[in-house]
Structure 1
Amino acid sequence: METVAEIDLKPLDVGGATPDVVDLFAQEAASLTRLARFYLDDRTAAEDLVQEAFIRLSRSAGRIRQRGNAAAYLRSIVINLARDHNRRGLVSLRHRPSALPDAPSAEEDAHTRAERQEVIDALRALPRRQRDCVTLRYYLDLSIPDIAETLGLSANTVKTHLQRGMASLATTLEGTR
């Protein structure tokens, strides 16, 4: 797969405006990679998905009418690519960062990782729309309208999925403690 440096990052003609893909990449790549990591255990695969999302954005730039819609379109692409990756059963290796020199004790680190993994497992067990809404809202800190735009849902539907998802997470996590 191409690296970021090999991708032709030229300005796009998007509805009369010409947003620079390089600027968009600088603004959104890190949060998109974090989003992809909720769906994939492999950081490299998540980074590859984000690169693929930017490639697809540049190929279909004519569909985007407003500059503000590019980020939502990218989030949608990343979510769909991550689902496809998992659906096809591609190999996803578990990479865990090693303890940092100034990290807490091994026991504290293990406990923190276990708690984090419980939350991620509970999140992954949610129905698809609930998981998407909760992830976009509480991990990427998107507003209800931004989530609705990203997922192509109404704001009320997003609120419903958020409420149900959070209730389900609370029940699941209460049961594991």
Structure 2
Amino acid sequence: MSEDLAEAAPDGYEALFHGHFWGLVRLARLLGADDPEDVVQEAFVRLHRKRGGLRDQNAALAYLRSSVCNACRSRLRHLRIARRRHARMVEPSESGSAEQSAVEHEMVRDLLAAVDGLAARQREVIVLRYWLDLNERETAETMGIALGTVKAHTARAIAALAKQVKDAT
């Protein structure tokens, strides 16, 4: 960030950027973004444009998390449509390489694949709750859903992950 922008932003925007950029990139990656840095950068741009309009200046981080979640959701929806369209035009290819299969057998990769296989909202809840260590209330605020919905998605996601782990063993 240039010094001019830092001087023009005495409200802590630069500190917020430096303190949370890479964590938000990890969040975007875990939510399935293929370009997580771009997603986060766009979220910061939206925040910068809107920062005067925020009711609570302390809510900037929650706004950024919500922006990242929404952008990932939107991009994944777009990718699904594009892939369906592409799949109709091209024959399906053979399964992955031997190297890919070996990597997929690692426990961490299996867990990440299981998380990736969850429904979008369940994946978001799991990532926010257990990767970012947000509590249920913060997760609900970030996702813009009710607290009870967070609890329900969390329970369903954990049950689905447990089933996948049990089936894999």
Give the shorter-chain TM-score range.
0.7 to 0.9
Q: CA deviation at 1:7?
A: 10
Say if 2:138 is the partner of 1:140.
no
Residue of structure 2 in register with 1:106 after alignment:
none
The one-character-per-residue Cα deviations of 1:104-143 (angstroms, maximum 9, x if unpaired) are xxxxxx6697322221221122122211111100011111
The residue correspondences of 1:1-177 to structure 2 (distance < 5 A) are: 8=5, 10-11=8-9, 19-40=11-32, 42=34, 45-89=35-79, 114-177=106-169
- Residue 57 of structure 2 aligns to a residue whose secondary structure is coil
Greater Cα offset, 114-123 or 131-140 = 114-123
What root-mean-square deviation, in Å, do the aligned CA atoms of Structure 1 and Structure 2 show?
Answer: 2.6
How has the CA–CA distance of structure 1 residues 6 and 23 changed in structure 2, closer, same or farther, with 3 Å as cutoff? closer
What percent of counterpart residues are identical? 37
1: CA distance between counterparts of 2:122 and 2:105? 23
How has the CA–CA distance of structure 1 residues 124 and 26 changed in structure 2, closer, same or farther, with 3 Å as cutoff? same
The runs of at least 4 consecutive aligned structure 1 residues that moved more than 4 Å come to: 4-9, 110-113
TM-score, normalised via structure 2 length: 0.76
2: CA distance between counterparts of 1:81 and 1:6? 29
The one-character-per-residue Cα deviations of 1:17-68 (angstroms, maximum 9, x if unpaired) are x6321111122112101101113364xx211111111001111224421133
Unpaired segments ≥5 residues, structure 1: 12-17, 92-109
How has the CA–CA distance of structure 1 residues 7 and 25 changed in structure 2, closer, same or farther, with 3 Å as cutoff? farther
2: CA distance between counterparts of 1:175 and 1:154? 32
How has the CA–CA distance of structure 1 residues 7 and 120 changed in structure 2, closer, same or farther, with 3 Å as cutoff? farther
Unpaired segments ≥5 residues, structure 2: 84-101
How has the CA–CA distance of structure 1 residues 88 and 41 changed in structure 2, closer, same or farther, with 3 Å as cutoff? closer
Structure with the greater alpha carbon radius of gyration: 2
TM-score, normalised via structure 1 length: 0.72
2: CA distance between counterparts of 1:117 and 1:20? 37
